Every structure is written in C-alpha cells, then in structure tokens.
Structure 1
Amino acid sequence: MQGGVGERFLCLIEELACEAELRELDPVGEPGQRAGAVRGEVTGLPVRPGPGQQPDHRLGLALRTLRRRAGLNLPDAVGRLGLSGPSALSKIENGKQRVPSAALDKYFDAYGVEDAQRMAEIRKLASLASSPRRTNLFNQYRDAVRDPFADYLELEELATHADWYAVQLIPGLLQTPEYAHAVVDGSGKWRTAREVRTFVELRMKRQQVLRRENSLSLWCVLDEAALRRKIGGAQIMTGQLHHLLSITEELPGVEIQVLPFSAGVHAGIDGAFTVFRFDAGDPLAVVEPLTTALYLEEDVHVGRYEVAFNHLRARALDIAASRDFISELIKEEV
C-alpha cells in the first residue's frame, strides 16, 4: 500500500473508531442526539440522563463544530493540538473531559478561528463549564427533583430565548396554578397529593425566568387543540385563556400566535418541540415524545426545527388575530 494512500486509510479507520466511541458515549445513535431524563410537561416520566444541555457538553459540541468546519478529522486535529490520541479529543468533544479556558487559544489556532464573537461565546461556555452548579430551584426542591430534571432547569435558566411549539397543552411557563394542577394531577404519574402540589409549585417558580432581569424571551405557537382542550373544566380553562392574554400585555418578551385547525397540514405535524438559544454556544432543540425527551445539538438537526418553527409562524395567525381568536374562545367558555 503506497504511503499517502495508506496514511489516509489508517486515518479513516481511526476516525471511524472514534466515531464509534462517540456513539458508545451517546447511546441514541447519532453524535449530538441524546435522550434526556426529563419529567416532561405531559408525561412526567423520568428516563436516563441526557447530558447535552450541560455547559461542559455544549462546550465540547462547540469545539467539535469548529473542527468539522475547519475540515479536520480527529487524527489531523489531534496532531495540530498535540493531544495523546483521537480518543482524548473525542472525550473533550463529548464533555467527558474539561478544557481549561487557558487552552482555548490552542484550539482557535489549530482550527483557524478568527471570529471574535464566536471565540467570546466559547470562552463564556468554558467559564460556565468550569463552575458546575445546580440551580436555585434544584436546591429548593431537592427532595422532589431528580438530577436529570435539574439539568433541564439549568438549561431553561441559561437560555435567553425559546421558540416553543405546543400541541396538546399550554406550555408550563405560561400555565396558571389551577391549570398546572389539573395537568399534573391528571397525568397519573404522581403518587400523592403532596407530590402533585410540590411539582405544581416548582412549575410556578420556573416561570420566574420570564420576569427576571435579562429575562427569557419566549415566542410560542399554540395549536388550536391546546386552547380548546378543557383541562380542569370550563372555569379553569377560562382563567387560563385570560392569563394568556394578560401575560402578553404584561411581558413584552412573550409573544403568542395561534395555529388554527384551518391551517391544515403543517411543519409541526409530528409534535411539539422547543428551540433554546443562549448568549454562549449554539442553539439546542428539545423534542418530547411519549416517554422521553431528546436533546438535539447538531446543526443539521437544530436547523430543521428552526426552519419548521419559521414555517409554523408563517402559517399561524398574526399576534393581533391570535389575541382576537383567544378572546372569542373565552366568550365560548362563558
């Protein structure tokens, strides 16, 4: 086998081996697509941990993205960085091994990064990753919240913007206490009345992200089904609809559009999803099927949900027409 061809062949084999290692670390199957353990808005079912929302994993993903955009495979990048081998870099890119902030310049040089804003974002991610923490909410509700859901709380607190498409239920960040109690109690996933009350209280505390300094901005497309489903009865539903109108008046960072049944088939027909954006790092999509939550990190996956959300916004009623639609539903309830 000739030298150049043989060298490229060996690099290819090593790259494939490292990709296999990535899949082993990431059991869902594709790098960057992770099943997260989240007590969901609908199911409340805990499943295995999804590390993708943590700052150290998002830092690793950002470094992997830089490498791929530089056109480098793992062995080539390892040579430029002076690491011990491809497995060492794969651990870094999967958040299994932390990169000191002081070492970032070496990565920027190796990958030819000149974008000052991008470098600043990655430095901020490194700073977050070097100071692991649990949210205040986790500390307050330690007995009721498992670690994986604490990860989700941290994701929600770190985000600066969320695009949220809701199908069956009003999103938790927009729920009234009465509506939230009806949802949590009706799910059948909580054993005692105390657990129901505790989780509802936590859900209400989560809404502080919409009212804090540097608050989370939220753009929500609500399927008509979520507005017509009588959760808890007519009185509770009427209160919830009034709340949707009042919160958009009170909080300029919250926008709601209604996707009516008349829109027909649309880009969100497969179900609800959320796209989170951050000051530091790339956006992340969360998809919640029946028994799990998937964190999608790769550009190609997140991009599809960003496009889908833009299509949903285009098909939905505009802001003013959506308010009128909700007001008419209130009249129907009364």
Structure 2
Amino acid sequence: MELDPEEGVKPGSPAAMLALRAKKARAQSGLAIREVATTLGYHHTYLGRVETGEQIPSEQMADDMDDFYKTDGLFGDLRALAHAAAAETPKWGHKVLQAEKRAARIQTFNSSVVPGLLQVQPYTMALFTESMPGRDAENIAFQAAKRSHRRDVLNSATPPLYWAIMDEAALRRPVGGPQVMAEQIRHILHMIEASSAVHVQVLPFEEGVHPLLGGSLSLLTLRDGSQFAYVESFASGVSVESPAEVMELATLMDLAKSKALDSGKSNALFRMYLKEYENDLES
C-alpha cells in the first residue's frame, strides 16, 4: 500500500508521523480498528494508542503492520527513528548534532574513547551501560540508536571531510571486552580504507602530555564557511562561536595533530591492537 503525504499536514516528530501513517493505512484498508488488531494478534486498545501517538509500537508490531499493510518497512523505519528521537540529548549537544549534517569538514579529538561517528553499536552500548547507572536497557538502547543514526553523516553521498585524532588510551581501554574492541578496530580500518573523506590518526602514549588531555574537542566548518567549536567533558559541553576563541581551540587541535602518528603508523598501531584483542579471544 502506498501512503501519500497528508495534504496540509506538516510532518512533526517521527512518533507523530508514525501515528498519522498508522491511522491512514487502516483507513485505506477499510477495516475497523478491532478487525485490524484481531488480525495482527494485538488488543485493539494497543493499536488505538499507536494510532493516537500515545505509544510507540513494539518492533514486532511494527513489522506485523508493515506485512499487513504492505508498506515495505515504513513502520519499522519510523519506529526506529521515533526511538532514536526519544533518546535524551543534552541541551549543549543540540547544535553540534545539527551542524554535523551541514558540515563540509569535521575535525575531532577524543582523549579516552573512540570518536562518536566511528563507534560501532556494541561499543556505544558498552559505554552507555557503564555511564548511565540506573537507566533501564531500553533507555540505553535509545541512546545507542541515536548515535547510530549520527553515523549516517559519514555514509552520505557527499560526506564531510572527517579528520579524527584519537589518544592511544582509547585503543588500550577494552570497552565491552576483546570481541567488541576487535569489531570496533576493524570498523575504523574499514572506514579509513573505504572512504577518502575519513582520516584517523593516533596520538601515542610515547608523546607524553598534550594540550587536550581529559576531554574532547570538535571543530566544524559548515558549507557556508562559518566555523564553530564544541568542547565536551564529563557530563557537560559548550559550543564556541567567537572567532578568537575558535582560533585558540584550533591551535590546541593543531598541537595535538603535530604529536599524532601519520596515517601509515596509525594504521599499523590499529592492526597491532586488533591482533592483541583477536589473540585474547583465541586464548
């Protein structure tokens, strides 16, 4: 069933769009809500809450709706987007999330973890599980899904130039254990090899102190030429737009870059750690 956009209705959140589409799909089927719910195997009040936007359907229900209405994954996709949108984003991070989609160049440094746009989902899940005590598994999954959607920036038809500097500590710390780390490092190597727009370098322990210890810094250049910086540390962050302050932070980034290994040596270090984690799995 092909669902045309509602005339005069401005699409809102993914959850609101899911509710709108669910209601319209049933209307086009000509069936009452009880008939559809019975056919799908759910209580009619559950389907009613989905159609009014009071509840996001389960993954199974979204799949069943797609099968019944023949909507080719529409409800599954909207459900995933609704869950990602439901993930809490700190206020200080809103601007950088939007800017990533409009960036011509993204430069980033992380001192203790793999940069967010390079993370695989098991690595992100392991990070959030430890850093969000008291949150239930579904909430943690929401957060991981949101970060997963952010990675689409690097897979777009016209990706920004992405230049990441990682502290060696991010490779040494076994987030999620050897299997997760092996998968994570393979993904980084794949991204480097698959896209000329992705550059990743490692700042090794042997370089000692550097100007960005203990936090992360992103410098974004938008397509209109404007620039801003984003500085994040434990549970806080700030966007910086003042040209003078952005220049100061860019200088710190340049100093960190000057201490990083070149691409060839960085890739060799990635492979060394990958081999260590693979050996751990075999032992």
What band does the TM-score fall into relative to the shorter chain? 0.5 to 0.7
2:216 equivalent in structure 1: 272
1:233 equivalent in structure 2: 177
Residues 139/178 of structure 1: CA separation in 2 closer, same or farther (3 Å cut): closer
- TM-score, normalised with respect to structure 1: 0.56
2:144 equivalent in structure 1: 200
Match of 1:283 among 227, 232, 257: 227
- Cα distance, 1:260 vs structure 2: 0.3
Matched, 1:211 2:177: no
- Cα distance, 1:198 vs structure 2: 1.6
Amino acid of the residue matched to residue 152 of structure 1? V
Aligned mates of 1:147, 1:179 — CA distance in 2: 20
Matched, 1:143 2:72: no
Amino acid of the residue matched to residue 210 of structure 2? H
Residues 145/270 of structure 1: CA separation in 2 closer, same or farther (3 Å cut): closer
Residues 208/286 of structure 1: CA separation in 2 closer, same or farther (3 Å cut): same
Contact 1:272 1:287 in 2 (8 A): yes
Alignment of 1:82-93 (within 5 A): none
SS at match of 2:211: coil
Matched, 1:181 2:129: no
Alignment of 1:1-334 (within 5 A): 141-145=84-88, 148=91, 149-189=93-133, 191-269=135-213, 271-333=215-277, 334=279
Contact 1:138 1:150 in 2 (8 A): no
- Cα distance, 1:202 vs structure 2: 1.5
Amino acid of the residue matched to residue 144 of structure 1? A
SS at match of 1:168: coil
Aligned mates of 1:142, 1:247 — CA distance in 2: 26
Aligned mates of 1:297, 1:184 — CA distance in 2: 29
Q: How many residue pairs get matched?
A: 198
- Cα distance, 1:217 vs structure 2: 1.8
1:96 equivalent in structure 2: none
Contact 2:109 2:218 in 1 (8 A): yes
- Cα distance, 1:170 vs structure 2: 0.4
Aligned mates of 1:150, 1:138 — CA distance in 2: 17
Residues 74-93 of structure 1: CA distance to partner in whole angstroms, max 9, x if unpaired? xxxxxxxxxxxxxxxxxxxx
SS at match of 1:288: strand
- Cα distance, 1:272 vs structure 2: 1.7
Aligned mates of 2:219, 2:156 — CA distance in 1: 20
1:76 equivalent in structure 2: none
Residues 189-220 of structure 1: CA distance to partner in whole angstroms, max 9, x if unpaired? 56211111121112111101001122122101
- Cα distance, 1:265 vs structure 2: 1.8
1:101 equivalent in structure 2: none
Aligned mates of 2:170, 2:102 — CA distance in 1: 27
- TM-score, normalised with respect to structure 2: 0.65
State the identity as a percent: 28
Aligned mates of 2:89, 2:185 — CA distance in 1: 31
Amino acid of the residue matched to residue 185 of structure 2? L
Q: Say which structure, 1 or 2, has more relative contact order (CA 8 Å, 6+ apart).
A: 1
Output the aligned Cα RMSD.
Answer: 2.0
Aligned mates of 2:84, 2:134 — CA distance in 1: 15
Aligned mates of 1:166, 1:319 — CA distance in 2: 17
Aligned mates of 1:316, 1:220 — CA distance in 2: 10
Contact 1:285 1:295 in 2 (8 A): yes
Question: Which residues of structure 2 form unaligned runs of 5+?
Answer: 1-79
- Cα distance, 1:139 vs structure 2: 6.7
Question: Which residues of structure 1 form unaligned runs of 5+?
Answer: 1-136
Aligned mates of 2:274, 2:167 — CA distance in 1: 16
Aligned mates of 1:198, 1:145 — CA distance in 2: 8
